[in-house]
Amino acid sequence: MRILLYMVIILIGAWLGAGGKLSESFTGKLSKLQFGSLLLLLFIMGVNIGVNEDVINGFYKLGFQAVVLAVFSIAFSIMFVKLVSGFVQRGGKDSE
């Protein structure tokens, strides 16, 4: 249900953005609005972390887990792209 809500909100935004129905003054402020709401959300997320003693006490453990997860996801994504890179690049040459 939540996924559907997120998709609908993005699609409404994309539809409004593509249609050019938004005023210049609003679209001019878009990146500032986006960054402002992002900073507010990150602040709230920080509060959510700060009020949780388990997270604060286990911060080093969480950091180690994060490095392992990041390295594995990078390594596997490179391997998976390697599987199709020949096929994709051949397509690019065909269309030239």
Partner 1 sequence: MNIGIIAAVASGIVVGLFLFPQQFVQHIGIIIDIGLCALLFFVGIDIGRNKDIINQIKACGFRILLVPVMIALGSIVGSIAGGSVLGLPFNESGAIGAGFGWYSLSAIILSDYSAEIGAVAFITNVCRELFALMAIPFIAKYIGKLESIAPAGATAMDTSLPIVSRATDSNTAVISFITGVVLSLLVPVLVPLMIAL
Q: Rule CB under 8 A: which of 36-75 touch partner 1?
A: 37-52, 54-56, 58-59, 62-63, 65-75
Q: Is residue 95 near partner 1 by the rule CB under 8 A? A: yes
Whose Cβ is closer to partner 1: residue 10's or residue 25's?
Answer: 10
CB of 25 to partner 1, least distance (A): 14
Does 28 bind partner 1 (CB under 8 A)? Our answer is: no
Greatest extent of the chain over all pairs of C-alpha atoms, in Å? 58
Ordered DSSP codes for 16-36 = HHHHT-S-HHHHHTHHHHHHH
Rg (the chain; Cα; Å):
21
